[in-house]
Amino acid sequence: MRIAFMGTPDFSVPCLEALIASGHEIVGVFCQPDKPVGRKQILTPPPVKVAALENGLTVFQPDSVRNGVGVKILEEIKPDLVVVVAYGKILPKEFLDFPKHGCINIHASVLPKYRGASPIHFAVINGDKVTGVTAQQMDVGVDTGDILHVLTCEIGENDTTEYMYEVLAPLGARVLTETIEMLENGTLHPVKQNDDEATHVGLLSKNMSSIDWSCSAFEIHNKIRGLYSWPGASTVISGKTLKLHSSVLSDKTGNNIAGEVIESNGKLVVACGDNNCIEIIELQLEGKKRMTASVFLNGYTVEKGTVLG
């Protein structure tokens, strides 16, 4: 089968590699344009471009695929199918309709839950115990197309968003491979999504970082691991920003002020709004390096009873 691939970040690369290994003819790879990265703003290619060029594939980086630009490229490369994995832009109807088998999207959620840009983050933030990857037949909506194939996996109590990316990327490659096999042998059975069960999640922003200690320990712990590693969770101690990189739920309880430090001798344990507590494992004080809480407490005095936030 002649297949065009569309993707940009690291998450997309295992799917591209799976297509390469499958023996299908990859007639072109679309990704976002190179962007300036870092303090020196060095123009850097996206991971999908790097992987594509390493395998001798033709790369297209249009600023937009609208207004006939994308269709013109499809007319040149003539794909039977377009595979989309975190490409980063909405595709117009004329583009979606061009390939014989349309466009299949690999989405890191069990649709219809978590349609939109940040499905992995919100599965962790909301404390879900199960997530997965869905192959969907794309339509003009945002993640609203018919479900083609789903594989699921567990989210552990302390798993972070960053860790779940590492789990879901290869799972997405498996979903893609199996979906194309079913397409070829005629065993795909598309299922329409129930819009009433859908949740839309947008892009993350830095203003989400601040911890509200009046929330439950479960909610705060999930926010810390869900926002890791960007934009990250943070609080304030003695007027300085304190980034919270990791935590665990504590077995300590008590009728304390929300945000109150109840233990600071080798461990940093903080009371939450439901009288349960979390233990901060790794943190970073404004202007300092990331470190464990125990190392932090060796050099920075935090009195028991200090209130964060």
Domain of 179, CATH number, reads: 3.40.50.170
My answer on whether 194 and 216 are in the same domain is no
Contact 122, 113 (CB under 8 A): no
Cα–Cα distance for residue pair 246/225, rounded to 1 Å = 6
What is the average pLDDT value for the chain, to the nearest integer? 97
Domain that holds residue 129: 2-201
Task: Specify if 305 maps to a domain.
Answer: no
Of the chain, the end-to-end C-alpha distance in Å amounts to: 57
Domain harbouring 285, CATH code: 3.10.25.10
- Per-residue pLDDT for 254 more than 90? no
My answer on whether 180 and 264 are in the same domain is no
Look at strands 200-201 and 115-116 and give their pairing.
parallel
211: left (phi over 0), alpha (psi -120 to 50) or beta: beta
Count of structural domains within the chain: 2
My answer on whether 135 and 268 are in the same domain is no
My answer on whether 187 and 166 are in the same domain is yes
pLDDT-derived band at 202 (thresholds 50, 70, 90) equals very high
My answer on whether 197 and 213 are in the same domain is no
Identify the pLDDT of residue 184: 96
pLDDT digits (tens, 9 = 90+) for 1-50: 999 999 999 999 999 999 999 999 999 999 999 999 988 999 999 999 99
DSSP code, position 180: H
Q: Where are the alpha helices (DSSP H) in the chain?
A: 13-22, 47-54, 69-77, 93-96, 119-125, 161-185, 217-226, 293-299
Identify the pLDDT of residue 94: 97
- Which pTM value belongs to this model? 0.95
pLDDT digits (tens, 9 = 90+) for 208-221: 999 999 999 999 99
Q: How would you label 156-182 residue by residue, b for 16+ Cβ within 10 Å and e otherwise?
A: eeebbbebbbebbbebbbebbbebbee
